[in-house]
Amino acid sequence: MTTIQIRENASSFTASDVMDQQYLDLSHFAEVCGQSPEWVLQLIEHGILPERSEPQVSMFMDEDISRAQRAYRLQRDFDASFSAVAMMIDLIDEVQQLRHQVKQSHFK
C-alpha cells in the first residue's frame, strides 16, 4: 500500500483564483488543492475524481476542486483511507440526489 503524505493548503493559488479558468492541469490542480500530484492521482485511482485517459496531461474542471477538498477533509477528519473516502463521497452524493428527488416530488 502506498502512503501519501497530506499537506495542509499551503498553495499560492486559491479556489477563487481559478474560477475564471475553466480547466486546470494536474500540477496546478494539485497546487490549488494544497496537495501533491500523487495525492490527486490517488483520488482518480479510487474513483473520487473522474478517471482520465492520461492522468499526467489531464485537465480538471472547477467542480473537481470542491470534490477534492471534500475528500481531503474526510480523510483528515476521520483518518480515512482513500477507499473509505470514496465510499463516503458516494454515499453523500446518493443522499444529495435522493433529497433533490424528494424536493422535486413535493413541487409537482
The tens digit of pLDDT for each residue in 41-55 reads 999 999 999 876 665
Catalogue all structural domains in the chain, each as residue range(s) with its CATH number. 15-106 (1.10.1660.10)
Average pLDDT, the chain: 82
For the stretch 22-33, pLDDT in tens is: 688 889 999 999
pLDDT value at 8 more than 60: no
Which residue in 27, 54, 55 sits closest to 41, CA to CA?
Answer: 55
Ramachandran area for residue 37 (φ above 0: left; ψ -120 to 50: alpha; else beta)? alpha
For the stretch 56-75, pLDDT in tens is: 557 888 889 999 999 999 99
pLDDT value at 82 more than 60: yes
Instruction: Note the pLDDT of residue 54.
Output: 62
